[in-house]
Amino acid sequence: MLYHKLRRGKIKKMKDKDIIALYDVIYKMLSKAGFKRYEVSNYAKPGFECIHNKKYWDDSAYLGLGVSAHSYIDGYRYYNTKRLDTYIDAMNENKPAVYRKEYVSDAEHREERIMLSLRTIKGLDLEKFKQDFKEDLLRSRAEQIKKLTELKMVEVVDGYLRITEPNFNVSNQIILELV
């Protein structure tokens, strides 16, 4: 609905500086109410974080059930049909409703691990990354990490590389420096 109103000129697109200001207001209001940011755009009271979404960010397997659901198992992504009638027919015939399956290459997996982990407050587990991808990110991206650390945009804490709190509004640019 928002997109259609924007296209028809019924509402105006916000300027980047206004969006950042709005994020700051939301952050302050939610923090004051006892909510903690645990991902770029997600807040919860401690212990009530979305377990479902955390599966994406920590690179866990997940099974999607239902129309348009997605799954990620053993390095493959599965996409269920978007059509309800097709989905029902597949279920009635005891067949999978998957319309697309794709293998996630090692390079894609590596980039996704960096991107998704850095979206979280916890950050990227550097030792696990090294084990899984045979790459020491502190060495392979030493120049970028040094620059971002000097700018106080990232920090390494307890073996995790993470974006510092005030810089989540530019997380995409930071992540692009590291992938």
| 58 within 8 A of 50, measured Cβ to Cβ | no
For the stretch 21-80, pLDDT in tens is: 888 899 899 999 999 999 988 999 999 999 888 888 888 999 999 999 999 999 999 999
Q: Which of 94, 92, 70 is nearest to 81 (CA)?
A: 70
The dihedrals phi and psi of 168, each to the nearest 5 degrees, come to: -65, -25
83 has pLDDT over 90: yes
Reported residue count of the chain is 179
d(CA 46, CA 49) in angstroms, rounded, equals 7
What's the maximum distance between 2 C-alpha atoms anywhere in the chain? 59
For the stretch 97-154, pLDDT in tens is: 999 999 999 999 999 999 999 999 999 999 999 999 999 999 999 999 999 999 999 9
**pLDDT score recorded for residue 52:** 83
